[in-house]
A = this chain, B = another copy of it.
Amino acid sequence: MRFDRRFVLAALAAALLPVQAAFAQSDPLPSWNDGVAKKSIMDFVGKVTTPGGADFVPPAERIAVFDNDGTLWCEQPEYFQGVFALDRVKAMAAQHPEWKRQQPFKAFLSGDKKALAKQGEKGLLTLVAAAHSGMTTDEFAKSVADWLATARHPRFNRPYNELIYQPMVELLGYLRANGFKTFIVSGGGVEFMRVWAEKAYGIPPEQVVGSSGVTQFRLDAAGKPTLLKTSKVQFVDDGPGKPAGINMMIGRRPILAFGNSDGDLQMLQWIMAGGGARFAGIVHHTDAEREYAYDRPSKIGQLDKAWDEAKAKGWTVVDMKQDWKTVFPNKP
């Protein structure tokens, strides 16, 4: 008796389908390959949520914090918020004819890279500040939303807020399903992130901690209250600023933190110094093909001291190439 080949395949598929379906249902992290990283995450969540276990942590204390750039979304070839700022300066130029005669605007808008380089880091910060101040908080939020709707990443040709890491989105959901409260703790601007973080990660505005500028409360001519964004820095949530930001804005020491660079080192040290079970994770960018590969010498997202400390202390280092089945979500 000869079987039709298609019949055999269909029968096999039918036989395997329930197994696959059951597996898919029971695996909360389907975009993670089985390995040390995935196992260490699931073991940790298992032990802190087992009632009566030695490592049980009450739900109210299950605070998890995540860096954003390079940990939850891509940060190459430039920090996305920097791209936003420069795009905005171009868009705002028509309303600022004086910029044609003012540096660093003149150099930037005319594409004179040599003259722009002369303005140094200060020149760049001036451009970034121009995109982040002199408008109300509502106007700023609208400018971020407008940019996301039109701007595209130069390599992946997708909106920037689609370049989030699917395995990390699953991890956030898995933690929340286990009673964790998930926070972003990022060096990025808090008002920039809040525009899209809830839709991208399921993290509400009040659980986003980041850098911020001073805002001024004003009643406008019609008596309507507004908050005006000034160019004065209020708080820098990076490096040693991350534990300070956690203390100021969360007020409770998290039991889990994920970062990807030396800017996250102090946050990871801070959370690991608490009592009871703790988890420190680092995303290591090892995948030049699907995303980017960079660590010790990188100008963006340098991973050097934090990597050494992770090795010395046995923190979980996620190898993007090995540990992740997919990097970005499928196109919608």
Contact = CB atoms under 8 A, between A and B. Distances in A.
Interface of A: 60, 63, 137, 181, 183, 190-191, 194, 198, 204-208, 212, 214-217, 219, 224-225, 227, 234-235, 240-241, 243-244, 247-252, 266, 269-270, 273
B206 A249 contact: yes
26 contacts: A60-B204, A63-B206, A183-B206, A190-B248, A190-B251, A191-B251, A194-B252, A205-B250, A205-B251, A205-B252, A206-B207, A206-B249, A206-B250, A208-B251, A212-B248, A214-B244, A216-B240, A217-B241, A217-B243, A217-B244, A219-B269, A225-B243, A227-B247, A234-B235, A234-B248, A235-B248
A248 to B, nearest CB: 5
A269 B225 contact: yes
So how many copies of this chain end up in the complex? Answer: 2
A252 B217 contact: no
Max count, chain B CB within 10 A of own CB: residue among A63, A214, A215: A215
Given A181-B206, A206-B63, A269-B219, A227 B250 contact: no
Given A250-B205, A251-B191, A227 B212 contact: no
A215 B137 CA distance: 27
A273 B206 contact: no
Given A204-B60, A249-B206, A227 B215 contact: no
Given A225-B270, A235-B234, A252 B204 contact: yes
Contacts of A241: 217
Given A60-B204, A205-B252, A235-B248, 10 more contacts: A191-B251, A194-B251, A206-B207, A214-B244, A217-B243, A217-B244, A217-B270, A225-B273, A227-B270, A235-B235
Contacts of A266: 217, 225
A208 to B, nearest CB: 6
Nearest to A206: B250
B251 A249 contact: no
A42 to B, nearest CB: 25
A191 B246 CA distance: 12
Q: Which 5 residue pairs spanning A and B have beta carbons closest together? A: A205-B251, A217-B240, A205-B252, A194-B251, A225-B269
A205 B60 CA distance: 10
Contacts of A215: 243-244, 247-248
Nearest to A213: B248
B227 A243 contact: yes
Contacts of A181: 206
Nearest to A226: B273
Contacts of A190: 248, 251
A137 B190 CA distance: 24
Given A204-B60, A206-B251, A273 B217 contact: no
A150 to B, nearest CB: 24
Nearest to A272: B225
A3 to B, nearest CB: 55
Contacts of A204: 60, 252
Nearest to A205: B251
A216 B247 CA distance: 11
Contacts of A251: 190-191, 194, 205-206, 208
